[in-house]
Amino acid sequence: FGSRAAPRTPSSALRGLVPQLVAMPIGHAAAAAAGAAAGRRGRRARANRTRQTRAAAARTAAYRAQRKRAEELRALLRKFDANKSGVLEENELRELLTSLNTNPPDQDELDYIMKLCDVDPTDGAINVVELEHAVEAWKVYCTKRTDLEEDFAKFDLSGSGKLEKDELKSYLVHLNEGIDVDDDEVDWVLSQADVFNKDGACSKPELVMATAAWYTHVQEKEQSK
């Protein structure tokens, strides 16, 4: 005789129905089984509808939040667009950033935000699309501003307002908990940070990028071990 497949073990729900089905007449047992199957299908359908409803509600909420944010940005631009040009020029952006943080940006910080966020540098202004990035970048920068100023003053031994290569190396050794840093690593960090002035030194705003580049470098070294 050919080998028979092993009988499947009934699910716990079905095992619970077995005594009832055995005691029922055949017609009633079939109807009960069909009813149980229909109940399972109904529960699955309701669960699917619930998931779809929640997903639709989440999409609607996200869309409304996006529209609200866009209107807030348009209102912000209108408020500081003194010459009604539809964009924020450098002096207007300075006023806006000052309103977000009582200390006004210095020229290096303003240049940093302009160059970071002005997608079309030929117009020298920030439009409503670029404004969101400018506002967020300035807020993030301001959260680190005090620490940056303290570190900058500590390592800017020449008082030039920039960290030269040897000063940047001292700063990276500080981040590296006193462990020496290779010159090649300093050159790489400087190449990642000196993207605005391109003067072979690191300005205060560029120190944000230098710090981020260093920690990225350290993380990659750890992962490669």
Q: What mean pLDDT comes out for the span 145-174?
A: 92
Cβ neighbours of residue 129 under 8 Å, at least 6 residues apart?
119
Tell me the pLDDT band of 53, cut-offs 50, 70 and 90.
confident
Q: Among 44, 61, 130, 60, which residue's Cα sits nearest to residue 93?
A: 130
- Residue 174 above 80 pLDDT? yes
Tell me the pLDDT band of 66, cut-offs 50, 70 and 90.
confident
Cβ neighbours of residue 77 under 8 Å, at least 6 residues apart?
86, 87, 88, 127, 128, 131
- Residue 184 above 60 pLDDT? yes
Q: What mean pLDDT comes out for the span 98-107?
A: 87
Q: What mean pLDDT comes out for the span 18-22?
A: 52
- Residue 73 above 70 pLDDT? yes
* CA–CA separation, 88 and 124 (whole Å): 9
Tokens for 205, please give them.
């705003």
Cβ neighbours of residue 190 under 8 Å, at least 6 residues apart?
165, 168, 200, 202, 210
- Residue 1 above 50 pLDDT? no
pLDDT at 131: 93
Angle of the 128-155 helix axis to the 26-80 helix axis, nearest 10: 70
Say whether 161 sits in a helix, a strand or coil.
coil
Can you list the alpha helix ranges (DSSP code H) found in 156-203?
A: 165-175, 183-193
Tell me the pLDDT band of 187, cut-offs 50, 70 and 90.
very high
* CA–CA separation, 133 and 137 (whole Å): 6
pLDDT at 4: 53
Point out the least confidently predicted range of 35-49, 114-128, 196-210.
35-49
Q: Among 199, 65, 205, 97, which residue's Cα sits nearest to residue 145?
A: 205
- Residues 108-158 pLDDT 10s: 889 888 888 888 877 889 999 999 988 988 887 888 888 888 999 999 999
pLDDT at 51: 85
- Rounded to a whole number, what is the distance in angstroms from the first to the last CA of the chain? 61
pLDDT at 21: 47
